[in-house]
Amino acid sequence: MPSDTLPPILGDPVAVGAAARTFASIAADIAATATRLRALAAGDGTWTGVAATRAQARAATLPPKLDKATASYAAAGGALRDYAVALADAQRQSASAIAAERRASLDLESARAAQATATQHDAAQAATAHAAGQLAPPPTAQRHQADIDDAAARVARASATNRAAHDDQSRAARLAAAALKEASREGIHNQSWWRHAISSAANWASTQWAQALRTVSKVAATISGLAGIAALALSIAGVFFPPLEGAAATLEAISLVSAQLSVIADATLAASGKGSWTTVGLDALNLAPAALGKIIGKAAPALRRILNSDRLTGVEHVDSHMGGFTEAGSIVRHTKTATAIGDDDATLANLSRSTGAEGHDVIVHGVLIDDEAYFSADQTLIHPQQVADAILSNPEYSGGPINLVSCYGAKGTAAELEDILGVPVNAKMGRVRLNPKTGALEESVGR
């Protein structure tokens, strides 16, 4: 495999937890606003007449829509909160397994060295006894076999524990993604809510219901400000965790529409002499966080390229160029002899060793689940079609054999890639790397 140690679990549970709290806070604010609007719709008897009756009837239609938005944000916050907890637990389990594997590997190395020393000593003793015409003393090397077996077993258990931690993290991520998608479908993308809100504002303006219009302006400004701040936070986090960019875009849209509604309400008040044009100008400030978040979102791919450039640690520089990203956000690099997916040091090290002697080198991590191989990049499983797309987008590849630098490739992924591309794919059954001197594909057990 391209890595000589167990892979850790990447991610920032603190940042995910902060995003969860932001969603929960927005849900609470929207719920409080719905409560105030219900009280407004109920009336207190101080305002009567036809206009009051009509206004109260219209005010009563908005809270149910706000309830839907509240449930949506609360569900999104809960999904992110659960994922933050699961991610932290998986990282702790993985870190413990990695530490245990390192200790066991050192013990295994020590036991093997001791056995080798004992073997040499036994041979010397046997030679001395033979020269003296005596029987050789009992060998001692075998005494170290139990230590070797125990250390090897601990290495295997640590590896299994780390795989389980990665599986738990992947499962939690899938659940969180499904929950966020459901939350979006249930309310965050509910455009009719905003259309109803704008329609209600227009009707209130037509009846010159100044107090209700001020309430609408305040509600819209609050939602715009909170959504804009949340969008900015998620846009920044999205530079490092691309799946958050979708949520940031949703919040940007909510912030912008809310700000527009606030401007319309205050402009109506100002035009009728019941408000200030200064307030209208201040409403525009609510656009700043969302606008900045949108700029960061647009610049995110370039920022990722800057952050990910020249990250070769302990290996020579590779004359490569960006080939884009996979659907999951993993970086793709192209050279004249190779296509690499992922941005870890092991992948980059193998990329620097590529010579193309055995075909076009395709460098991507491989994992084994239930004795079946899967492609993986940045701790996320990726479909063979995404790997094929990355290869075909390399302008230096014009067809021909593929040299698959991916662990356990001969256990399934090579055959899948062969079916998609229609070319021979060379692969190995175990963990692999490219030889540092020759660039040839070789199994890396014990290296």
For residue range 69-84, list pLDDT tens digits in order.
Answer: 778 888 888 888 898 8
What number of helices (H) and strands (E) belong to the chain? Answer: 12, 11
Say which residue the tokens 């009756």 belong to: 53
Examine the pLDDT at 316 and tell me if it is beyond 50.
Answer: no
Per DSSP, the three-state class of 321 is strand
Examine the pLDDT at 273 and tell me if it is beyond 80.
Answer: no
Q: What is the rounded average pLDDT of the residues 362-390?
A: 87
263, 256, 192, 249: CA torsion to nearest 10: -170
pTM of the model: 0.40
| pLDDT band at residue 2 using 50, 70 and 90 as cut-offs | very low
Instruction: Give the pLDDT confidence score for residue 44 in this predicted structure.
Output: 61
Instruction: Give the pLDDT confidence score for residue 110 in this predicted structure.
Output: 93
Per-residue pLDDT tens digits for 375-384: 988 777 888 8
CA separation for the pair 385, 339 (Å, rounded):
14
Per-residue pLDDT tens digits for 122-134: 888 888 888 888 8
Edge-to-edge strand ranges of the sheet holding 365-369: 365-369, 372-377, 380-382
Instruction: Give the pLDDT confidence score for residue 118 in this predicted structure.
Output: 87
Report the chain's mean pLDDT, rounded to a whole number: 76
**Torsional sign, CA 399, 401, 407, 410:** positive
65 or 285, greater pLDDT: 65
Domain ranges of the chain: 13-108+162-306, 321-443
Examine the pLDDT at 285 and tell me if it is beyond 70.
Answer: no
Examine the pLDDT at 404 and tell me if it is beyond 90.
Answer: yes
- Count CB atoms within 10 A of the CB of residue 215: 18
Q: What backbone phi and psi angles, to 5 degrees, belong to 168?
A: -60, -40
Q: What is the rounded average pLDDT of the residues 266-288?
A: 64
Most confident of 175-179, 200-204, 301-305: 175-179
CB neighbour burial string for 275-303, b if at least 16 within 10 angstroms, e if fewer: beeebbeebeebbebbbbbbebbeebbee
State the angle between helix axes of 50-59 and 191-206 in degrees (0 to 180), rounded to the nearest 10.
Answer: 170
